Amino acid sequence: MSGDGSVDEVEDHRAYLAQVMAEIDQEVRRRRSSGDLPARVERQLDELFLEHSPVAGRGGALEDALALVDSSAFIDPVVPVASNRSGGAVVKKGLRSLNLWYVGFVTHQVSQFAAATSRALHLVEDRLGELARELDAQKVPPAPVVDVPGDGDPTAWWVAGALDALGSVPGRVLHAAASDGWLVRHLVAGGVDAYGVDPRVGRIDAGEREGLDLREEGAVDHLLAVEPAGLAGIVLSGVVDGMAHGERRQLLELLGDRLTPEGVLVIHAWSPSAWGSDAAPAEADLSPGRPLRPSTWSHFLEPMGYRVGVEEGPSGADYVVTAFRGRADRPR
C-alpha cells in the first residue's frame, strides 16, 4: 500500500482487514483445539484476577479485614523525631512537646473509637459464624450430575430423535451435562452450532483436547451467564434427575428465559422406578430430590408455553421429554 489513500486502496485495505479477521478466528480455534491455549485456561486467568477483586475470598475476607482493623486500631501520638539534618532532632522534639498535649487528647479518643469498632466487628463475626454453622446443618445440597442409561452412546434409542429435533434450530445449542462431548460432536457434525458444559472434574478433558467447545461448569451457573434468548436449543441429561423441587423450578424459569421464543428443550432422565433400583448410581441416595414421572413434565412445561412430547425408553430405565416453544413444529 503506497499510502496515498485512493478509493481503490482504501477498499482493498478494508477487504484485507475482513480477511485477516476471519483468519485470526481460525487461528484462535486452531490454538484452542491443539491444546496450546485451551479455553479453560483463559477462564482460569479471569478467575485468578477475580481473586484480587474486592468481592473475592468470601470465606476469609472478614477475618482478614478484622485483622487489619485490629492492627490499625491504635494511633500513636508520639511522632518520630530522628532527623538527618544537624539540629533537626532537637527542633522536632521541641515541636513534639508543644503539640503532644493536644494531639494526645485527640488520638486517645480516636483509639477508643477504633477499639470499640473492632470489638463490635468481632461480635458480628462470632454471630455470623454461628449462623453459618446452623445454616450449613439445614441446607439442601445441590443435586449431583449423574450418568443416565445410554449416555455416551450415539446409537442410544433417544439420540436420533434429539438430533432430529435440534438439527435445524437457528442458533446455539447447549448440552448439559456434556461429559466428553459425545453428543456435541454429533450435533456439530450435523451442522449445529453446539457446545457443552459439565461440572464434573476432568470429564470434558478428552473432548476439549479434540477441539470441541466444552466448559467445566454447572448448567445453572452457565445459564446465569448466558444472555436472554441466547440459546436455540438445550439438551439436559443427568442434570434434573436428583434436583429438589425448588432447584428444578428455578432451572425451568432460567431455561424459559434463555431459550429463544422458538427454542427446543430436550430432557433425558432416569425413570422414577429405575432411580430406586440397584442400577441407579450412588448419587441417587445422596440427592435431595428424585426424578419426576414423565407425565409430570407436561404438567410443568405446557403452562409455560411448550408443546411437550414424552417417550419412554425400551428398558423402562429412562425417558426423554422433547418440548417445543412458539411455532416450532413436530411435537413428538
Partner 1 sequence: MTDPGTDGARPAGAVHQFIPALIPRDATGSHTLLLRDVLREAGWRSEIFAEATHDELAGQSHRIEEYPSQARPGDVLVYQFSTSSVVAEVLASRSEPLILNYHNVTAPDLYGSWDPPAAARSEEARRQLAVLAPKAALGMAVSAFNERDLRDAGCARTTVAPVLVDLERSVADPDPRTAARLRKDRAGGGADWLFVGRVVPPKAQHRLVEALWAYRRLYDPAARLHLVGTAPSRRYLTALRGFVADLGLEDAVKFHGEISDGALAAVYAAADVYVSLSAHEGFGIPLVEASRVGLPVVALGVAAVPETVGDAGLLVGVDDPAVVAAAVDRVLSDDRLRLGLVDAGRRRSGEHSMVVAGRRAVEAVATVAGAPPEGSPPAVPGDVP
Nearer to partner 1, 53 or 86 (CB): 53
Nearer to partner 1, 12 or 164 (CB): 12
Cell output for 297: 413434565
Closest approach, Cβ 210 to partner 1, in A, equals 17
Closest approach, Cβ 239 to partner 1, in A, equals 27
Closest approach, Cβ 4 to partner 1, in A, equals 9
User: Amino acid identity of 251?
Assistant: L
Residues that bind partner 1 (CB under 8 A): 1-3, 5, 10, 13-14, 16-17, 20-21, 23-25, 27-28, 31-32, 36-37, 39, 42, 45-46, 48-49, 52-55
Nearer to partner 1, 40 or 290 (CB): 40
Nearest alpha carbon to residue 279 among 150, 158, 109, 177: 150
For the chain, first and last CA: distance in Å? Answer: 59
Closest approach, Cβ 42 to partner 1, in A, equals 5
Nearer to partner 1, 71 or 155 (CB): 71
Q: Could you tell me how far CA 7 lies from the centroid of its own chain?
A: 48
Closest approach, Cβ 132 to partner 1, in A, equals 22
For residues 312, 315, 316, 317, the Cα torsion angle rounded to the nearest 10 degrees is: -100
Q: Could you tell me how far CA 269 lies from the centroid of its own chain?
A: 22
Closest approach, Cβ 90 to partner 1, in A, equals 33
CA dist 56 and 38 (Å) reads: 24
Nearer to partner 1, 55 or 225 (CB): 55
Angstrom distances, CA of residue 137 to CA of 130, 132, 133: 11, 9, 6
Nearer to partner 1, 53 or 84 (CB): 53
Closest approach, Cβ 6 to partner 1, in A, equals 11
**Residues sharing a CB contact under 8 Å with residue 117, sequence separation 6 or more, in sequence order:** 69, 73
Nearer to partner 1, 23 or 63 (CB): 23
Closest approach, Cβ 256 to partner 1, in A, equals 25
CA dist 30 and 262 (Å) reads: 33
Phi, psi (degrees; rounded to nearest 5) at 224: -60, -30
Nearer to partner 1, 28 or 116 (CB): 28
Nearer to partner 1, 11 or 302 (CB): 11
Closest approach, Cβ 17 to partner 1, in A, equals 6
